[in-house]
Amino acid sequence: MKPQLYIHIGFPKTGTSTIQKFFCAHKAELEKAGIFYPTPLLGPMLAGHQGHCSLGENDSPLRHDIVPWTAYQKAYLDQLLAAKCKIHILSAEVLPYDAPANLSTFRNDFQIKIICFFRNIFDFIVSGNKQVIKEGLRQDIFTYYLYRNFHILARVEEYINFFGLENCIFLNFDKIKKDGNIIDAFFKTIHADFDYSRYRVENDNVTPPDAANMFLYQLSFLPFSFAEWAVVRNEILAMDLSAWRDFRCTLLPAWVFNLDDEARQAIGRQGQLLQDPHWYDATLKRGEELAAIPNHDLPPRIQHDIFNRLSEKARAILARHWPGAAQVNPAKPLLPSMEHMGQDAFELLKKLHQGYTISIGNVLHLQNKLNKEAERERERERERERACMAATPAGAGVILSQLRACCASLFSAHARQAYAIRQSGLFNIPWYLERNADVARAAIDPVWHYVRYGAREGRDPAPWFSTRAYGRANPDVLKDGLNPFYHYICHGKAEGRQLA
């Protein structure tokens, strides 16, 4: 008979980090009790995520890793086979979004059971969006909730079809969080005889207070460099803001709480899998409760309290990007209003935070996907030719060519210049928009406008830098066809070049 392997496909924000950290911290004690959890092999983006097993093809940390995901699986399989235990466990947070067939590596040697925790979709999205803010993933703040319906079940039905419903165990995270302990629930599920009560169970990955979330959310409208954002964010997350615990927010638009038929069916399916006749109604009730929480700017007194606790360095960063941070009247707000999120501003923000602040790792991941799709498209074209089909490009091919062009633009000289200028934190966006009303009216990304058109037209990126004067003082820059401000940031400053 094959040994038992429990694979925990951990939806985000369902206690996964707590489970993984406990297993990793008490690995030796678990093995004495006949329970084996492998030593996690961490990709470069997971150094601080103790206990996570990098298992899946879509495991985002592996996108930044030269080691293929299959190599991680092989290493885990070797550990599992070498263990002399009755029960074996693997846990990975991204697996609900991965193809279950990718776990075939373990099927020949183990009897597999899948463990999955469901959380009501509304708390899931609210908590997940706040996690995005906490992690500083500003490009995702305005898009995370767009995939609400997919987050409800992800690829759970595929797991059921692949492993069989009898080998899939579904648990109610909401009930466990309210009435019990997630470690206790896990051990009961796998029928393990382990006295976890002797050990401290830490609730890992706690969501920051809503006051901190809203402060960071309102700052997300400003073009900080990644380094600047990290300075401000880390200081705010370290603050004790319990005095402002009454401030509440969800940071989600109202439509997220209005379910369509697809979402309702998926929630109903969750209830069936949990064998909980009250799940659907309880989920809708929770959505109504969260929808009733107003989303409005952080009150000025809270803004000033948090701002005054920041270091001089962090306050200087805010003042550099937002002139309002210089005022000291406690009755007036310091931060940009979240009401800036009108339709036009929303489109501008998506360009600001997704177009050219996206990480190079994600760009390379996209490029890899496009290359694979291009090869599939070429094969389809060859099949069409063999079948003497019409040579008119298919719609998918047209879309693919557009995607290729879009991806290529990310590697263009203009894109590199815009990225470097934005990262420097020296481009004064409020000042540029105030001086160039045509750019503000057109809702164009100001950095992108300056790189493409503004520098050539003699517009200035900040009050202290003259594009034309720098060009006159450094004629070799213009001779080489370089953007003056980009040259100053990347070369001129270090070389001691004259500004005028």
For residue 363, the model assigns a pLDDT of 42
CB contact at 8 A, 173 and 165: no
Helix count and strand count (H, E) for the chain:
25, 5
Backbone dihedral angles phi then psi of residue 263, each to the nearest 5 degrees: -65, -40
Secondary structure (DSSP) of 274-320: HT-TTHHHHHHHHHHHHHTS---PPPHHHHHHHHHHS-HHHHHHHHH
For residue 193, the model assigns a pLDDT of 86
Say how far apart CA 122 and CA 152 lie, in whole Å. 10
Tens of pLDDT, residues 42-80: 644 444 455 677 777 665 444 445 567 788 889 899 999
Say how far apart CA 151 and CA 263 lie, in whole Å. 10
- What is the three-class DSSP state of 5? strand
- What is the three-class DSSP state of 7? strand
For residue 142, the model assigns a pLDDT of 63
CB contact at 8 A, 87 and 35: yes
The domain made up of 4-198 has a fold known as Rossmann fold (3.40.50)
For residue 371, the model assigns a pLDDT of 58
Phi-psi region of 129 (alpha: psi -120 to 50; beta: other; left: phi over 0): alpha
Scanning 198-278, the segments in alpha helix (DSSP H) are 210-219, 226-237, 261-274
Say how far apart CA 243 and CA 176 lie, in whole Å. 28
Among residues 434, 422, 486, the alpha carbon closest in space to that of 224 is found at 422
pTM (2 decimals)? 0.67
Q: Output DSSP code: residue 125.
A: H
Sequence-ordered list of residues with C-beta below 8 angstroms from that of 405, at least 6 positions apart, any chain:
none
For residue 129, the model assigns a pLDDT of 86
| β pairing state of 35-36 and 168-172 | unpaired
Tens of pLDDT, residues 308-361: 999 999 999 888 878 777 777 888 888 877 765 443 344 444 444 443 333 444
Sequence-ordered list of residues with C-beta below 8 angstroms from that of 311, at least 6 positions apart, any chain:
235
CB contact at 8 A, 93 and 14: no
CB contact at 8 A, 293 and 248: yes
Listed as ranges, residues in the chain with pLDDT below 50 are: 43-48, 60-64, 341-364, 366-367, 388-411
Identity of the amino acid at 61: P
The sign of the dihedral angle between the CA atoms of 386, 390, 391, 395 is negative
For residue 458, the model assigns a pLDDT of 92
Q: Determine the straight-line distance between the first and last CA of the chain, rounded to whole angstroms.
A: 80
Among residues 159, 170, 168, the alpha carbon closest in space to that of 119 is found at 170
Instruction: Using alpha carbons only, give the angle 93, 80, 62 rounded to the nearest 5 degrees.
Output: 35
